[in-house]
Amino acid sequence: MDWADELAASVEGPQVVNDSKTPSGTVHVGSLRGPVILDVITRALRARGLEATLLYGVDDMDPMDAQALLSPDAIEREMGRPLAHVPDPAGDCHPSYARHFAGIFIDTFDGLGIRPDRYYWMSDIYPTGQMDPYIRTALDRAAVVRDVYRRVANVQHPDHWLPLGVVCPSCGKVGTTIASDWDGETVAVHCRPDLVAWAVGCGWQGRLSPFGGAAKLPWNLEWAAQWSLFGVTIEPNGKDLATAGGSRDRSNAIAREVFEREPPLNLPYEFLNIGGKKMSTSKGRGAAAHTIGAVLPPEQLRFLFVRSRPETAIEFDPEGTDAVPRVFDEFDRLAAATAGREVKGELPSGHESIFRYSLLDADADVARAAGAFRPAFAHLSLLVQVPGVDVPARVAAEKGAPLTPQETAELDIRLGAVHRWLEAYAPERARIEIQREGVPVGAEQLRPEQRGFLRALAETAHGDVPSTGEQWQAAIFAVAADQGIDAKAAFNALYLAFLGRPNGPRAGWLLASLERSFVTGRLRAAGSPATSEEATS
Ligand SMILES: [Zn+2]
Ligand SMILES: [Zn+2]
Asked if the model's pLDDT at residue 537 lies above 90, the reply is no
At residue 286, the pLDDT reads 42
With a cut of 60, say whether residue 533 has pLDDT above it: no
pLDDT of residue 532: 47
Model confidence at 211, pLDDT cuts 50, 70, 90, reads very high
Cβ–Cβ under 8 Å, residues 396 and 362: no
- Ligand whose nearest atom lies closest to the CA of 202: 2
Taking 50 as the threshold, does the pLDDT of residue 235 lie above it?
A: yes
Cα of 95 to ligand 1 centre, how many Å?
7
Determine the distance separating the centroid of ligand 2 and the alpha carbon of 76, expressed in angstroms. Answer: 12
Going from the Cα of 205 to the center of ligand 2, the distance in angstroms, rounded, reads 8
List pLDDT tens digits, range 109-160. Answer: 989 999 999 999 999 999 999 999 999 999 999 999 999 999 999 999 999 9
- Which of these ranges, 43-47, 185-189, 387-391, has the smallest mean pLDDT? 387-391
Radius of gyration over every alpha carbon of the chain, rounded to an integer in angstroms = 30
Q: How far apart are CA 286 and CA 273, in angstroms?
A: 8
Distance from residue 193's CA to the centre of ligand 2 (Å): 8
Q: Which ligand is nearest to the CA of 193?
A: 2
Q: Is residue 234's pLDDT more than 70?
A: yes
Question: Ligand 1: distance of its center to the CA of 96 in Å?
Answer: 7
Distance of CA 106 to the CA centre of its chain: 14
- Other Cβ atoms less than 10 A from the Cβ of 260: the count is 10
Give the single-character DSSP code of 82.
Answer: B
Q: What's residue 460's pLDDT?
A: 86
Closest CA to 256 of 219, 232, 228, 236: 228
Interatomic CA distance for residues 98 and 184, integer angstroms: 32
Residues 465-471: what's their mean pLDDT? 83
How many A from CA of 289 to the centre of ligand 1? Answer: 17
Ligand having the closest approach to the CA of 81: 2
Q: Is the pLDDT of residue 335 over 80?
A: yes
Check residue 276 and give its pLDDT. 47
Q: How close is the Cα of 108 to the center of ligand 1, in Å?
A: 15
Report whether 191 contacts 171 (CB < 8 A): yes
pLDDT of amino acid 307: 96
Pick the range with the lowest mean pLDDT from 66-70, 412-416, 440-444, 479-483: 66-70
pLDDT of residue 90: 86
Q: Report the percentage of the chain scoring pLDDT > 70.
A: 95
Q: Where are the beta strands (DSSP E) in 181-220?
A: 187-191, 205-208, 215-216
Average pLDDT over residues 222-235: 98
pLDDT for 531: 52
What is the C-alpha separation between 191 and 204, in angstroms, rounded?
Answer: 5
pLDDT class of 386 with cuts at 50, 70, 90 = confident
The structure's pTM equals: 0.88
Average pLDDT of the residues in 373-392: 91
Report the separation in Å between the CA atom of 101 and the middle of ligand 1, taken as the mean of its atom positions.
7
HEC sequence for 277-310: EECCCCCCCCCEHHHHHHHCCHHHHHHHHHCCCC
Residue 102, pLDDT score: 92
Residue 284: per-residue pLDDT: 34
| pLDDT score for 288 | 59
Give tens-digit pLDDT for 264-319. 999 999 988 887 444 444 333 345 555 677 789 999 999 999 999 999 999 988 88
What pLDDT, on a 0 to 100 scale, did the predictor assign at position 45? Answer: 98
d(CA 69, ligand 1 centre) in Å = 12
The tens digit of pLDDT for each residue in 150-177 reads 999 999 999 999 999 999 999 999 999 9
Digit-coded pLDDT (tens) for 146-157: 999 999 999 999
466 pLDDT tier (thresholds 50, 70, 90): confident
Q: Which residues surround ligand 2, an ion (CB under 5 A)?
A: 168, 170-171, 191, 201-202, 204
For the ranges 58-62, 230-234, 282-286, the lowest mean pLDDT is seen at 282-286
CA of 271 to the centre of ligand 1 (A): 27
**Interval between CA 87 and ligand 2 midpoint (Å):** 18
The whole-chain average pLDDT of the chain stands at: 91
pLDDT of residue 228: 98
Residues with CB under 5 A from ligand 1 (ion): 88, 90, 93-94, 100
pLDDT higher than 80, residue 371: yes
Task: Output phi, psi for 200, to 5 deg.
Answer: -115, 120
- Ranges assigned E (strand) in 85-192: 118-121, 165-166, 177-180, 187-191
What count of Cα atoms within 13 Å lies in the side-chain half-sphere of residue 303?
24
Stretch 54-75: mean pLDDT: 90
State whether residue 165 is helix, strand or coil.
strand
The pLDDT-based confidence of 16 (bands split at 50, 70, 90) is: very high
Alpha-carbon gap, residue 287 to 175, rounded angstroms = 30
Say how far apart CA 450 and CA 307 lie, in whole Å.
Answer: 42
Ligand 2 centroid vs 160 CA: distance in angstroms? 20
- Distance from residue 172's CA to the centre of ligand 2 (Å): 6
- What is the C-alpha end-to-end distance of the chain, expressed in Å? 66
71 vs 499, more confident: 499
